[in-house]
Amino acid sequence: MQIIETVLLFIQNQVLGMKWLNELIGFGLSSLGMDLSTRIGSSIQFFIYDVIKILLLLSILIFIISYVQSYFPPERTKRILGKYKGIVANTLGALLGTVTPFCSCSSIPLFIGFTNAGLPIGVTFSFLISSPLVDLGAFILLVSIFGVKIAIIYVVVGLILAVVGGTVIDKLHMENEVEDYVHQITSINIEEPDLSKSDRIEYAKEQTLQTVKKVFVYVLVGVGVGAVIHNWIPQEWIQSILGSENPFSVIIATLVGLPMYADIFGTIPIAEALFTKGVGVGTILAFMMAVTALSLPSIIMLRKAVKPKLLILFVSIVTIGIILIGYLFNALQFMFI
């Protein structure tokens, strides 16, 4: 058992966490005469290390995920999901979201396509919640920073939220609350291309490049904010606002995340910095989920596809779910850390 734990810690710290990279960067900066004990020096080391680590892991993971995705084009996905109903279909819709490396805004066109194809509205909303929220790439990055337990927690609660949210919307029969034009879009059934292995590799390369380009700015901003929190904001300030002593910490974290727009990869460095400052796991999860699932731009885009009643219901369900999850995991934090 001790050997297994040692191997897992090595994978978490050195393979995924790349602690060796942090030491290498520290050595290089010190060799250039930089004092890493100062706030500026520590911030620069944090920034360079996190940017390189996230982009490197992201590129590898997106390539693998995209290669797998090449076997599941939209037409095949629609046929698979169309075979099931009820909570099983919602669960499959949520799981589908885990292998789509999209932000909330880029998930909406797929949501429209699935709705137009006649899939139950609950399934499409389970996908819409899960897609930006739960990502296999994000899972690996979370493991590298927080460990396996918290990473698994994040994925599980994200999937539960997606399934429950989709199920509630399905039970309320909100089909008529989708804008009319969505159902009027001409659906074209394109034959699935018979791709060769080299074609799939090329597709994966293109998807990796496009995804990295898309999230690059968010990663830079996220790591920059994380560096500021990590090295410049006193722990007492963070604790007073988002610490366990503040009963409204989860609500504050959720409301702060709502107007923001960032990919899940941009929120991870901020979450890492908050974690080192002693912020509760539930509060961090609430912040990450609010940013990725309920960003203001995605809500504005979604409004073009659904009517106000359904939009308000969607935002209300997800917001309440995020807050409940935050408080629950703050209360149970002792079980995971």
Q: Can you give the pLDDT at residue 32?
A: 92
pLDDT digits (tens, 9 = 90+) for 68-126: 777 766 666 677 777 777 888 888 888 887 776 555 556 677 777 777 777 888 888 89
Residue of 207, 165, 177, 173 lying closest to 294 (CA atoms): 165
pLDDT for 253-269, tens place per residue?
998 887 776 667 778 88
In the predicted model, is pLDDT for residue 148 greater than 90? no
Residue 46 phi/psi, 5° resolution? -60, -45
The CA-based dihedral angle spanning residues 67, 73, 74, 75, taken in that order and rounded to the nearest 10 degrees = -160
Cβ(159)–Cβ(139) under 8 Å?
no
* pLDDT above 90 coverage of the chain, percent: 14
Q: For residues 247 and 239, what is the distance between their CA atoms, to the nearest angstrom? A: 12
Tell me the pLDDT tens digit for each residue of 16-28: 778 899 899 999 9
Backbone angles phi, psi at 306, to 5 degrees: -130, 160
Separation of alpha carbons 327 and 280, rounded Å: 9
**Per-residue tokens: 216:** 């690059």
Contacts of 71 (CB under 8 A, 6+ apart): 200
Give the Cα separation of 255 and 291 in Å (integer).
9
**What pLDDT is attached to residue 192?**
54
Segments making up each domain of the chain, as ranges: 2-183+199-335
10 Å CB burial of residue 305 (0-12, 13-18, 19+) is buried
* Residue 178 host element (H or E): none
Q: For 163-206, how does the pLDDT look when each residue is reduced to its tens digit (9 = 90+)? A: 999 999 988 888 888 887 776 655 544 455 677 888 889 988 98
Indicate whether 334 pLDDT > 80: no
Tell whether the model's pLDDT for residue 300 goes beyond 90.
no
**Residue type, position 187, single letter:** S
| Rg of the Cα atoms in the chain | 21
Per the structure block, which two tokens stand in for 292? 């990725």
pLDDT at 101: 52
φ, ψ for residue 178, nearest 5 deg: -90, 140
